[in-house]
Amino acid sequence: MLSKVKYILLLSLFISTSAFTRPHLNRLGIGFTNQLVNEIPAISFKLQRSPVVAIGGILGYSNSDIGGGYGAGLKIHRIIFDEPFLNFYGSMLGALIKQQVSKTESYSGFQFDFSFGSEFTFRGIESLGFSIEFGLSVNKLKDLVIETAGNNFITAGVHFYL
Protein backbone atom coordinates (compact mmCIF):
# COMPACT_ATOMS: atom_id res chain seq x y z
CA MET A 1 0.00 0.00 0.00
CA LEU A 2 2.78 2.43 0.91
CA SER A 3 4.59 1.84 -2.39
CA LYS A 4 1.42 2.76 -4.33
CA VAL A 5 1.18 6.04 -2.42
CA LYS A 6 4.83 6.82 -3.22
CA TYR A 7 4.19 6.01 -6.88
CA ILE A 8 1.14 8.30 -7.02
CA LEU A 9 3.02 11.13 -5.28
CA LEU A 10 5.96 10.74 -7.67
CA LEU A 11 3.64 10.68 -10.68
CA SER A 12 1.79 13.80 -9.47
CA LEU A 13 5.14 15.57 -9.10
CA PHE A 14 5.94 14.95 -12.78
CA ILE A 15 2.47 16.01 -13.87
CA SER A 16 2.60 19.23 -11.85
CA THR A 17 5.98 20.28 -13.30
CA SER A 18 4.66 19.91 -16.82
CA ALA A 19 1.98 22.47 -15.93
CA PHE A 20 4.75 25.09 -15.69
CA THR A 21 5.70 24.85 -19.36
CA ARG A 22 6.04 28.26 -20.95
CA PRO A 23 3.17 29.48 -23.10
CA HIS A 24 5.78 31.01 -25.46
CA LEU A 25 7.70 27.80 -26.19
CA ASN A 26 8.44 27.52 -29.95
CA ARG A 27 6.73 30.86 -30.65
CA LEU A 28 8.29 33.97 -32.14
CA GLY A 29 7.81 37.16 -30.16
CA ILE A 30 8.03 40.50 -31.97
CA GLY A 31 7.96 43.82 -30.16
CA PHE A 32 10.03 46.79 -29.03
CA THR A 33 12.74 47.77 -26.60
CA ASN A 34 14.54 50.96 -25.56
CA GLN A 35 17.56 49.25 -23.98
CA LEU A 36 20.16 50.74 -26.30
CA VAL A 37 22.32 53.38 -24.59
CA ASN A 38 22.15 55.64 -27.66
CA GLU A 39 18.41 55.97 -26.83
CA ILE A 40 17.17 54.81 -30.23
CA PRO A 41 13.91 52.83 -29.98
CA ALA A 42 14.44 49.37 -31.44
CA ILE A 43 12.44 46.50 -32.83
CA SER A 44 12.98 43.37 -30.78
CA PHE A 45 12.41 39.68 -31.40
CA LYS A 46 12.57 36.68 -29.10
CA LEU A 47 12.39 32.98 -29.89
CA GLN A 48 12.26 30.36 -27.16
CA ARG A 49 13.26 27.02 -28.69
CA SER A 50 13.71 25.15 -25.40
CA PRO A 51 12.09 25.36 -21.95
CA VAL A 52 15.27 27.00 -20.60
CA VAL A 53 16.92 29.11 -23.34
CA ALA A 54 15.61 31.89 -25.59
CA ILE A 55 17.47 33.83 -28.26
CA GLY A 56 16.60 37.38 -29.21
CA GLY A 57 17.71 40.31 -31.28
CA ILE A 58 17.49 44.10 -31.32
CA LEU A 59 17.51 46.39 -34.35
CA GLY A 60 17.06 50.17 -34.22
CA TYR A 61 17.75 52.97 -36.72
CA SER A 62 17.25 56.73 -37.00
CA ASN A 63 18.52 59.04 -39.76
CA SER A 64 18.14 62.19 -37.64
CA ASP A 65 21.09 64.60 -37.89
CA ILE A 66 21.19 65.01 -34.11
CA GLY A 67 20.43 62.00 -31.91
CA GLY A 68 20.18 59.57 -34.82
CA GLY A 69 22.23 56.45 -35.34
CA TYR A 70 21.70 52.72 -35.12
CA GLY A 71 21.93 49.73 -32.85
CA ALA A 72 21.96 46.04 -33.65
CA GLY A 73 22.54 43.20 -31.24
CA LEU A 74 21.88 39.67 -30.06
CA LYS A 75 20.51 38.63 -26.70
CA ILE A 76 20.48 35.28 -24.89
CA HIS A 77 18.00 34.54 -22.09
CA ARG A 78 18.42 31.66 -19.60
CA ILE A 79 15.35 30.92 -17.50
CA ILE A 80 16.16 30.41 -13.82
CA PHE A 81 12.67 30.15 -12.33
CA ASP A 82 9.42 29.49 -14.17
CA GLU A 83 5.77 29.86 -13.22
CA PRO A 84 2.64 29.63 -15.41
CA PHE A 85 2.47 33.36 -16.21
CA LEU A 86 5.91 34.58 -15.11
CA ASN A 87 9.54 33.60 -15.44
CA PHE A 88 12.76 34.91 -13.95
CA TYR A 89 15.82 34.83 -16.20
CA GLY A 90 19.41 35.89 -16.64
CA SER A 91 20.40 37.48 -19.95
CA MET A 92 23.35 38.81 -21.92
CA LEU A 93 23.14 41.43 -24.67
CA GLY A 94 25.87 42.27 -27.16
CA ALA A 95 25.23 45.15 -29.57
CA LEU A 96 27.01 47.46 -32.00
CA ILE A 97 25.82 51.05 -31.63
CA LYS A 98 26.30 54.47 -33.25
CA GLN A 99 25.05 57.89 -32.19
CA GLN A 100 24.95 61.02 -34.36
CA VAL A 101 25.91 63.99 -32.16
CA SER A 102 25.80 66.64 -34.91
CA LYS A 103 25.71 66.73 -38.71
CA THR A 104 29.47 66.19 -38.83
CA GLU A 105 30.21 64.26 -35.61
CA SER A 106 29.20 60.75 -34.58
CA TYR A 107 30.41 58.08 -32.18
CA SER A 108 30.46 54.34 -32.78
CA GLY A 109 30.94 51.63 -30.23
CA PHE A 110 29.45 48.68 -28.43
CA GLN A 111 27.13 47.73 -25.59
CA PHE A 112 27.26 44.62 -23.39
CA ASP A 113 24.51 44.13 -20.81
CA PHE A 114 24.49 41.44 -18.14
CA SER A 115 21.13 41.39 -16.42
CA PHE A 116 18.41 39.54 -14.59
CA GLY A 117 14.81 40.02 -15.50
CA SER A 118 11.28 38.76 -15.47
CA GLU A 119 8.74 38.31 -18.25
CA PHE A 120 5.09 38.10 -17.30
CA THR A 121 1.78 37.65 -19.05
CA PHE A 122 -1.84 37.86 -17.97
CA ARG A 123 -4.39 35.07 -18.05
CA GLY A 124 -6.46 35.39 -21.20
CA ILE A 125 -3.81 37.34 -23.13
CA GLU A 126 -0.85 34.95 -23.00
CA SER A 127 0.36 36.19 -26.40
CA LEU A 128 1.55 39.45 -24.83
CA GLY A 129 4.78 39.31 -22.78
CA PHE A 130 5.97 42.23 -20.60
CA SER A 131 9.60 42.33 -19.41
CA ILE A 132 11.49 44.12 -16.64
CA GLU A 133 15.28 43.88 -16.19
CA PHE A 134 18.09 45.05 -13.93
CA GLY A 135 21.83 44.54 -14.05
CA LEU A 136 25.11 45.93 -15.36
CA SER A 137 25.89 47.64 -18.67
CA VAL A 138 29.34 48.07 -20.20
CA ASN A 139 29.20 50.40 -23.19
CA LYS A 140 31.39 52.64 -25.28
CA LEU A 141 30.32 55.46 -27.54
CA LYS A 142 32.74 58.29 -26.78
CA ASP A 143 34.15 56.89 -23.53
CA LEU A 144 34.01 53.49 -21.85
CA VAL A 145 31.18 53.50 -19.30
CA ILE A 146 30.25 50.86 -16.73
CA GLU A 147 26.88 51.48 -15.12
CA THR A 148 23.97 49.82 -13.43
CA ALA A 149 20.84 49.34 -15.50
CA GLY A 150 17.20 49.13 -14.56
CA ASN A 151 14.57 48.76 -17.25
CA ASN A 152 10.82 48.77 -16.66
CA PHE A 153 8.52 46.96 -19.09
CA ILE A 154 8.32 50.03 -21.35
CA THR A 155 12.12 50.12 -21.63
CA ALA A 156 12.95 46.41 -21.40
CA GLY A 157 10.30 45.47 -23.92
CA VAL A 158 6.92 44.12 -24.83
CA HIS A 159 6.58 41.16 -27.21
CA PHE A 160 3.59 39.84 -29.08
CA TYR A 161 3.99 36.09 -29.60
CA LEU A 162 2.80 34.71 -32.93
When pLDDT is averaged across residues 61-89 and rounded to a whole number, the result is 91
Q: Which contacts (CB < 8 Å, 24+ apart) does range 56-61 have?
A: 56/29, 58/33, 58/93, 58/95, 60/36
**pLDDT of 126:** 82
When pLDDT is averaged across residues 15-35 and rounded to a whole number, the result is 68
**pLDDT of 22:** 52
3-state helix, strand, coil in the chain (%, to 5): 15, 60, 25
Q: Which domains does the chain have, with CATH numbers?
A: 23-161 (2.40.160.20)
Residue in 108, 67, 93 with CA at minimum distance from that of residue 156: 93
pTM of the model: 0.77
**pLDDT of 23:** 62
Q: CB-based contacts of 144: which residues, under 8 Å, 6+ apart?
A: 138
pLDDT at residue 45 is higher than 70: yes
**pLDDT of 4:** 57
Helix (H, G, I), strand (E, B) or coil at 33: strand
pLDDT at residue 77 is higher than 90: yes
